[in-house]
């Protein structure tokens, strides 16, 4: 029996007001996912160090999380294409729940390889958060598509800001349950993702992707497992859009990931490091609705160019004032703003580069490439920092911006 796409069980058109309800559900899910991610953001490295007995491998926590998000992106996109966003997002939350539970069990049993596997599964939470922004565009009107996407991105701010402050309560919960140190935050993540899964499963009725496919008259049939990769090869607009998102992400991750190392080696206190990263995260998410409005008003490519200008300003500051902490803080704020503008506008370009029934496959491939480029940027940033310093890292990252600017100009 052949499998069918989400269009095969097309619901009746829900009419006006449906998109507003979809955005509310997606925003609620993003907040809950952000709470879980924020509560475990710093704990992963600490837990890896605790279980492995070596701080040298502490970076494996974020590496496995990023790789997990990359590997899950395509399966979640294919699931969305076959069963709709509701099932795909719910499944992503359930996989993240399993990942957090495996982490707690591995820490209790002191089994390092299983701990890393749990970190990878937890990356599904990141993957579903990325897919949520695309779900916001399924039934969005073209004049407000970027704004709708940016509102879901913005809602991540709540969880990202509140989540890290749950470290203390998480440890109290862990002690009450008799769990090892640094695992309480993962219990909070399990609870948050459980509620998030329920929100997606109950709230996304009818399914926005099924409604979008029905409106577009999409044909049914078996989706190609390599559909997104084929689109990258055959559709220049899709290739350019994915390139914009992926390289902008690589620039941001490479500089951001090395900033704590640079600051601490130059005498900054942990409070200064924490403030710098907090302001950077605020730059990434807090003004995303502004960039969504700009993308709808002045165009996607023009907003990408604005984002690249902000990234370039950040890199110039890192090159010019790497020895001055206030300058580095300003650079990280600009880095977050540039990423936000480029990601909001670039993700909208990804959505609009192909027909409705092809979008889930391309969106999953875009998230895959984005995460892999981010992982590569973070991995290569360390050796570059060791050889040419923080200012040199900014100069090297400028080369990537040249490629993105060229791509954005061609998109215009």
In tens, the pLDDT along 66-113 reads: 889 999 999 999 999 899 999 999 999 999 999 999 999 999 999 999
Domain with CATH 1.20.1250.20 in the chain: 1-217, 225-412
Q: Which residue has the tokens 């791509």?
A: 407
Q: Tell me what pLDDT residue 164 has.
A: 66
The top-level CATH class assigned to 225-412 is mainly alpha
Q: Which of 44-58, 222-236, 323-337, 370-384 has the lowest mean pLDDT?
A: 222-236
pLDDT attached to residue 365: 93
DSSP 249-313: HHHHHHHHHHHHHHHHHTT--HHHHHHHHHHHHHHHHTTHHHHHHHHHHH-HHHHHHHHHHHHHH
Contact at 8 Å (CB) between 123 and 370? no
Nearest one of 169, 324, 314 to 248, comparing CA atoms? 314
Helix extents (H) in 204-235: 208-216, 227-234
Mean pLDDT across the chain, nearest whole number? Answer: 86
Residue 125 class from Cβ within 10 Å (0-12 exposed, 13-18 middle, 19+ buried)?
buried
Nearest to 84 by CA among 15, 7, 168, 31: 7
Chain-centroid distance, C-alpha 106: 26
pLDDT, average across residues 155-159: 80
| Listed residue (251, 257, 235, 283) closest to 405, CA to CA | 251
**Is the confidence at residue 6, as pLDDT, over 60?**
no
Q: Examine the pLDDT at 366 and tell me if it is beyond 80.
A: yes
Residue 12: the pLDDT is 66
More confident residue, 59 or 157: 157
Sign of CA dihedral 316, 404, 274, 48: negative
Mean pLDDT of 152-163: 80
pTM higher than the cut 0.75: yes
In this structure, what DSSP letter does residue 354 have? S
What average pLDDT does the segment 235-251 reach?
92
Whether residue 215 contacts residue 15, with contact meaning beta carbons closer than 8 Å, is answered with no
- Mean pLDDT (whole number) for 4-27: 75
Q: Which long-range contacts (CB under 8 A, 24 or more apart) does 12-17 make?
A: 12/206, 13/211, 13/214, 13/215, 14/206, 14/211
Q: Answer whether residue 353 shows pLDDT above 70.
A: yes
Closest CA to 76 of 67, 65, 94, 89: 89
CATH homologous superfamily of 1-217: MFS general substrate transporter like domains (1.20.1250.20)
Query: To 5 degrees, how large is the angle CA 256–CA 258–CA 260?
Result: 90
Q: H helices within 41-178, ranges in order?
A: 43-52, 60-83, 85-109, 112-135, 145-162, 167-176
pLDDT value at 410 more than 90: no
Residues of the chain above pLDDT 90, percent:
51
CB atoms within 10 A of CB 225: 12
Instruction: Give the residue-averaged pLDDT of 277-302.
Output: 91
Which whole number is the average pLDDT over 283-288? 90
pLDDT at residue 171 is higher than 90: no
Over residues 320-346, the mean pLDDT reads 91
């Amino acid at each position: 029996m052949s499998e069918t796409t989400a269009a095969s069980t097309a619901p009746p058109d829900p009419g006006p007001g449906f998109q507003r309800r979809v955005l509310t559900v997606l925003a609620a899910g993003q907040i809950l996912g952000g709470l879980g991610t924020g509560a475990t953001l710093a704990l992963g490295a600490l837990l890896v160090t605790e279980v492995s007995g070596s701080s040298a491998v502490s970076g494996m926590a974020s590496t496995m999380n990023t790789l997990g998000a990359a590997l899950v992106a395509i399966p979640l996109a294919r699931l969305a294409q076959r069963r709709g966003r509701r099932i795909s997002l719910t499944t992503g939350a359930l996989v993240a729940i399993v990942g957090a539970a495996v982490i707690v069990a591995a820490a209790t049993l002191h089994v390092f390889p299983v701990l890393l596997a749990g970190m990878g599964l937890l990356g599904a939470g990141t993957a579903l958060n990325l897919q949520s922004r695309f779900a916001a565009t399924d039934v969005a009107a073209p004049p407000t598509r970027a704004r709708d996407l940016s509102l879901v991105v913005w809602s991540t701010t709540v969880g990202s800001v509140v989540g890290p402050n749950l470290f203390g309560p998480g440890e109290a919960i862990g002690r009450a349950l008799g769990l090892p140190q640094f695992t309480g935050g993962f219990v909070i993540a399990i609870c948050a993702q459980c509620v998030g899964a329920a929100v997606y499963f109950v709230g996304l009725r009818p399914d926005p992707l099924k409604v979008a496919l029905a409106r577009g008259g999409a044909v049914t049939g078996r989706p190609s497992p390599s559909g997104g990769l084929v689109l990258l090869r055959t559709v220049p607009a899709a290739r350019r859009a994915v390139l914009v998102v992926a390289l902008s992400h690589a620039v941001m991750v490479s500089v951001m990931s090395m900033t704590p190392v640079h600051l601490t080696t130059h005498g900054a206190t942990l409070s200064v490091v924490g403030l710098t990263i907090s302001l950077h995260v605020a730059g990434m998410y807090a003004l995303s609705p502004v960039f969504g409005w700009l993308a709808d008003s002045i165009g996607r490519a023009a907003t990408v160019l604005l984002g690249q200008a902000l990234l370039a300003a950040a890199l110039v500051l890192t090159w010019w004032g790497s020895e001055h902490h206030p300058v580095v803080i300003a650079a990280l704020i600009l880095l977050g703003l540039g990423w936000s503008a480029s990601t909001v506008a670039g993700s909208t370009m990804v959505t609009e580069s192909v027909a409705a029934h092809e979008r889930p496959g391309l969106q999953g491939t875009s998230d895959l490439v984005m995460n892999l480029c981010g992982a590569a940027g973070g991995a290569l940033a360390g050796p570059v920092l060791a050889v040419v310093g923080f200012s040199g890292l900014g100069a090297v990252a400028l080369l990537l911006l040249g490629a993105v600017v060229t791509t954005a100009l061609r998109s215009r």
